[in-house]
Amino acid sequence: MSDLQIKNICKSYKLENKELKVLDDISISLNSGDFLTVLGPSGCGKSTLLRCICGMETPDKGQILIDGNPIAGIGPERLMVFQDFNQLFPWKTVEENIIFPLKFNNISKNKAELKEIAEEFMDIVHLKKFRNAYPNQLSGGMRQRAAIARSLALNPKVLLMDEPFGALDAQTRAILQKELLLLWKKFNTTIIFITHNVQEAIILGSKIMVLGLMPATVKIEQENTIPYPRMPETKEFMDLWKILYEQLETKRF
């Protein structure tokens, strides 16, 4: 049984009294610990797909199952990290931002235990020295680290990431890519990661999916068998890059 199954989901919206179909018969099957990167042109429905998996949106048709059970709304087993740097509570410190969802989801009522969990995850993302800092005192990369720590502290089955590194500079992006891979291997969390960057998709994903232009349909699913760490200058990397780039180009218009 796959950890996550998406079966034939469709999603449409009303726009000026017309139906706008965004997702059309999307099916994905992921095993526990898979890292799926999703590519596709702007407006093809990538974010809508994540919002359906997270429970923020309800598909018009189809099913989404975790361990064989249909999802029901938003739940702590499916958590989202966004591109926006402002996803943390601005009035709470880094430590408080990590502790709040633990308390909200009744992980523990013991203050010392909650602080211990927060301490562990601040250490993992290299933010222990910034435990008392507020989000506006952090760089964009540090805020994304805090958001990832907050999500992983809840031990989700699926971590959904909507272009989380898209607004970062190239150097910070490369650092966080390496750190995310280490976290993925450490926690064996299933990750679905949206990106516009073909190179990033190859560097990170154990599986890669390309969506066509709206309505989104799955154009290609590719096992990424290149050993980690993946170097863009290798022939295997460039061969896969060409396949994915050609798929994106054929569905741009």
pLDDT digits (tens, 9 = 90+) for 67-103: 999 998 898 899 999 888 789 999 999 999 999 999 9
Q: Which domains does the chain have, with CATH numbers?
A: 31-59+71-77+158-253 (3.40.50.300), 91-155 (no CATH)
Between residues 217 and 154, the one the model is more confident about: 154
Contact 1/172 with Cβ under 8 angstroms? Answer: no
Measured CA to CA in angstroms, residue 205 lies from 22, 33, 37, 86, 152 at distances of: 24, 11, 5, 26, 18
Letter for the amino acid at 147?
A
In the chain, at which residue ranges do the beta strands (DSSP E only) sit?
4-15, 18-30, 35-39, 61-66, 69-70, 78-81, 158-162, 190-194, 207-211, 218-223
- Per-residue confidence (pLDDT) for residue 9, from 0 to 100: 94
Q: pLDDT at position 2, please?
A: 53
Residue-wise pLDDT tens digits, 39-57? 988 878 899 999 999 999 9
Span 26-36, average pLDDT: 94
Give pLDDT tens digits for 54-69.
Answer: 999 999 999 999 999 9
pTM of the model: 0.93
Distance CA 103, CA 100 (A): 5
List pLDDT tens digits, range 163-181.
Answer: 999 889 999 999 999 999 9
Q: Check residue 253 and give its pLDDT.
A: 40
| Residue 125, pLDDT above cutoff 50 | yes
pLDDT computed for residue 112 by the predictor: 94
